[in-house]
Every structure is written in C-alpha cells, then in structure tokens.
C-alpha cells in the first residue's frame, strides 16, 4: 500500500459522495490486514458516476479513500455480440392481380 495515499487520483468516498470507479460489491481485505465493506449504488444514468451508500473500515476510517483505490476491482468489459433475429418473418410482396378484360373493355 505504499504511495497509494499520496496519489491525487484517489476518489472521494463518503456516504452520498461520488466515486468514479466501478466497485459494485463489498470488498474485503486479506485476514490480518484492513477490512473494508463498501456498498455502492448502481451507475448514474446521467454521467455514470457511482454513489457510496455506506462503508465500514476496520481501522482508521480516514484511509478509506486509499483503500478503495487499493482494492479497486477492474471489471472486464465483455463485448456483447448482437444476436440476429431469425424469428422475424420476411414480408412477402403481394402481387397485384391483373383485371380480366371483359368484352366491354375490348370494345373501347
């Protein structure tokens, strides 16, 4: 955890504060180290930011910012394959029926 607290990119983590990192579940450290439980809301539809709902730190709570960065979970973005809709039936073009010529039409 060296130099982590000095980094300027450490997000602000307070209840209701915004965190711009995708941490969406509780994070726990190894036994004997820091223990952090963080609950973060789903991403905002406006700017994609995440709100810290609640957090608990087993030691000094002021270091929570560094800990969130330290236990940062990188989510691998999987490319979603677009499924082709084969269920849609193709519309058949309707053929126009030709009018049968009557004797009256032939006389004209």
pLDDT in tens, 52-69: 565 555 554 444 555 555
Q: How far apart, in whole angstroms, are the C-alpha atoms of residue 37 and residue 53? A: 11
Q: Does residue 108 contact residue 101 with C-beta atoms inside 8 Å? A: no
Domain locations in the chain? Answer: 18-70
Q: With H, G, I as helix, E, B as strand and everything else as coil, classify residue 57.
A: strand
Q: How far apart, in whole angstroms, are the C-alpha atoms of residue 79 and residue 63? A: 35
Give, as one character, the DSSP assignment of residue 88. Answer: S
Check residue 50 and give its pLDDT. Answer: 58
pLDDT in tens, 28-55: 444 445 455 556 666 666 666 555 565 5
Please give the span between the terminal C-alpha atoms of the chain, in angstroms, as a whole number.
99
């Amino acid at each position: 955890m060296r130099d982590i607290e000095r980094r300027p990119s450490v997000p602000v983590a307070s209840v209701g504060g915004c965190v711009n990192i995708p941490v969406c579940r509780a994070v726990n450290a190894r036994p004997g180290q820091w223990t952090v439980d963080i609950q973060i809301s789903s991403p905002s539809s406006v700017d994609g930011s995440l709100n810290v709902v609640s957090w608990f730190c087993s030691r000094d709570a002021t270091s929570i910012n560094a800990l969130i960065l330290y236990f940062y979970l990188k989510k691998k973005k999987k490319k979603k394959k677009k499924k082709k809709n084969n269920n849609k039936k193709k519309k058949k073009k309707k053929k126009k029926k030709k009018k049968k010529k009557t004797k009256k039409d032939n006389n004209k």
